[in-house]
Structure 1
Amino acid sequence: MKKALFLICFWVVNWSFAQLSDTTPSVMLKSYVQKDRILLRWAVNTPIEWQKANQKGFILHKILIKKDGNFLENPEKQTIATLKPDKQEDWIDFIQKDNYGAIIAQALYGESFSVEQDSKNGISKIVNIAEELNQRHTFALFAADMSFVAAQKAGWGFIDTDVKAGETYIYQVEVLGMPEIESSAVMVGLSDVETLPKIHDFTAIPDDKKVLFSWGITYLKDIYTSYIIERSENGTDFQSISSTPIVDMNGTSKKQMFYATTLETNDTPYFFRIYGINAFGEKGIPSAPIKVQGVSATTAVPRIADYNFINDGVELIWEYPKEAEKATEKFELWHNTKEDANYQKVVDNIKKEDRKLIYRKLSASNYFKIASVDKQQKRHFSHSTLVQPSDSIPPARPIGLQGKIDSLGVVTLSWKANTEADLAGYRVLRANTDKEEFVDIFNHIITENTARDTVSFSLSNKKVFYKILAEDLRYNRSPFSEVIVVEKPDKNPPTAPIFNNFTTENGKITLYWINSSSDDVESYTLSRREKGTEKWQPLQVFHKETNTFIDENTEGGKMYEYLIQAKDKAGLWSSADNATIIIKAPIRADKVIKSVDFVADRNARSISLFWKYQKNAKVTEIQIYKNVKGTSPSLWKVLTPKQQHITDKEIHINTIYEYYFLPSLANGKPVEGEKVEVNY
């Protein structure tokens, strides 16, 4: 293959595999689930071992570990592929239509590999690699991130179509004949499919016949490898503004990405939108279009360049031309909790020489603008910047859920609207019995605090159960609301039941009561509300013989008022007077770990441990303790939250080992640990 010279011009974003920094030689493995297949990508993290691995090849193993929710007792390990890069001559036609394939082919087979230095496009900021092997490794992995087809051709990707719903698999990749390179594994099934997120904070700062775009990447680094910005003149027909995707070479040090482009004129308004592309070539949902129009170069406009969280506030940093200070009177800070026109001035008379300010009265979502005020008292506003402190906090639990059913089976639900500024909407769940699993009846969020559902009267159940949750723009989900029971409408009311005792233990409230003395009681309803609120939320409907209830769905430290009422066969309710009790809920630890699994491989003399976290859990680290059963545990490993698999080879046959998993949260809240016992 002839020597090739690649001139690569990119702007900003994260490389998923191209920025591997671990020093221990290992294979890094990622997965992505589509409708009926599982896509796999892997990469060796060090240049020398990467080069050797390409010569040796990769072995891909597969284990069916779980079926219909149950773990298999003796899962079999099968080899589903042995992969190496295609031969040099097989790349000739492919590289004519895939530029990224050309980069990979040159990295694999080229006599030399060089990157042209061009200060005009900032290439010196993108890569500063002296050794040619490092260049081959870095750019090959980058190109594989940009073209999954090319990654497959290089032996670094695989599509498994032999998959079924209800099954969970463990995939393991290892380098053939090179045990010194650590293998990697991932556990995944078709149920792990996730929707790629929309970018919500895409903003633009117009200038004279040009515009600078920015968007936050803190929560997108592990999802997208590149981005596409599109432009439209009518807001409907969009086309990409660049011939190649926009890529970040700055690693994990930046909170935002920036990209600049030119405008033909300042007189025409344009619409721009953005979407991300992951390492498997999947495109995310385009953002909402933003309207941009160029501004005259004679008008100086401040630009918020960065921000840093400081204690209980935020330090805002902005840019403004020094030469424009002569015509400037002062700066002002404007604030809003939503991206609309109702901004409020929160700080006045900021010196025109200043370029930073600390603001402490933060909300969950904060939109800031800096205004420069000229000598004629005309304001020139910067574009808004969104600041969200520690957005791992979910919305509040929805309250006031009510429901009624008409003669046609139409159920009307309503509840008190949440007030969070970053609220995306609600999800409504239903069950036909109190034993049935709740299901999302719409399979998407609804933005109003009302909903309609239709139920069939032909079914044997007389009641329908509903609960809701709130979800914000970062996909954080609130606890479920209290469950309500909707039933058909059914004149001496029964005597009232009364509470006679209660206990609080292990984050639960156990209630005891004396049932009604009336002999026509059909059921009892236990309701709950937070102290100081008006609306009761039904917790559970009981049969006559039941006189106790354990409430596990509480928030620690809150005061709850419980009400027990009897209903007779005519549908009349007992009096609520003297039928209430007020209890303070105990504090419980959060359950962060979703599951812990293991595979004991006697042939390999190893125990592989796998675990998953609850969605949206903000874990900072996890400590793993280990001991032989009957002895005291000791700290074995401390891992980062991205590491969810580890292999233990320091083991002896016919020994029972116990592993304890204890994660730590960013907010410092207590969590429940998990234990697994392995009989090796």
Structure 2
Amino acid sequence: MLERSDDRGKTFRRINESPLLFVQNEHSREDGNYGFLDSLGNNYEKYMYGIRGVDAFGDISEVTIITAYGVDMTPPSAPAIYFAESITSNKIQLKWQMPDDNYDLDKFHILLSGSLEGDYETVATNLAGITRSYEYSDEINTNRSYYFIVVAQDTAGNQRMSLPVFVQMVDSIPPAAPINLRGIIDSMGIATITWDQGKEEDLVGYRIYMANNPEHEFAQLTKECTAMNVWHDSIELVALDKKVYYKVTAVDRSNNFSAFSTMLSLDRPDIIRPGAPAARPSSSDTKGIKISWSLSPSNDVVAYIIYRKNVSKLDTSYHRITRIQNKVTTEWLDSTAIYEQIYEYIIKAQDRSGLLSDATFPVKGRRMFDFAALRITSLVAEYKKEYGAVYLVWDYSLKKSDFELVPKIYYYLYRKTNEEPWKKIKQLDAAALSFLDRDLKTNGTITYGIKIVTEDGISGVISESNLINYTKE
């Protein structure tokens, strides 16, 4: 049974008509305590309460007396800020309203933050309850944001905040232009560009611009500012322009635009093969086979690649033999061709992306035989008195690089006396490099000659020796 005294214990009045019954079950409080909520007339006025227990037989316990009072926990109305502006270069003024029924209003506090949902710090406190304006006069930084909140507090310490308000600062200074643009375009046509992050506190983002020609007007790609210092763009790969160009500007909170960044130039991935050159008829001499062609019509060609196959050997595939990096060269001499072998050539153009053109129409050529390869340049004749004969010596080594297979060769020796014509005197194998001529019959001047003859009948020129004056003893 509960009863309350409003006159400091002189009289008590029952406040519950029926006994308060608490049934112990699974929903009961675990600590065994129970409560009762009473409505009071005035806060901070002391009241006395008496509580008596009643058992099942109607017996009533002694009364237990406690003293209690109500506390104000209702905050005041929220202030309504209706004016928040920068009135000078270093002063911000706030004005707010309060309903007239806040009788226990005591004071105001002013909070400031650099962002709407950031951490607010107290910049003014304990402003009188009758105050309805405030001037913030700390050093103003136009590179940051200013969000203000007004807090109302009553005499019981209850507080209520206004909605945050943003103060637009007068800012005509643009941010610095973005620097260090860099990027890459992948084979799928996705361009990724990035740049260094700006350091301005009021920086809100960037705008990106693109053009296919540096002389054209750049089109803006960003509908809104992007806060990240990276941008992905999808470009058309099949285009006449081989490059794509980008510029970036920075934007601050006051919508001031920076100057354009330095222009970034990126190579568009090349998926178009260059046009094929046109082969011209070949020409040959003893030095090799000369291949010539007309230039490819594509402007991004960086080299020409020449392929060859040996028709004489019945080659079925072409082999790459050289790459000519000079893009304006239109002829080349194949000095590696073997004498009397027939070759077939094709040419392909290569662009800066490594793509190859179609091959030219095949042209054939044959390197002419160089008879100088079968010439002996040194034939020395010496008369040996003790033998009554002329000793001949020479030196020759056939270059394997001049022939597909080193042919079998023979030495043909000739002699002429005085003004007589050449007369063949001996045929020697390739292993012989000297000969002793004992068949001397006629006095006079003797000259010897030697020439090389291959097994298949190819004959070199005659090389002459020095003169021998011979007198038969």
TM-score interval (norm. to shorter) = 0.3 to 0.5
Please report the TM-score for the alignment, with normalisation by the length of structure 1: 0.26
Larger Rg: 2
Please report the TM-score for the alignment, with normalisation by the length of structure 2: 0.36
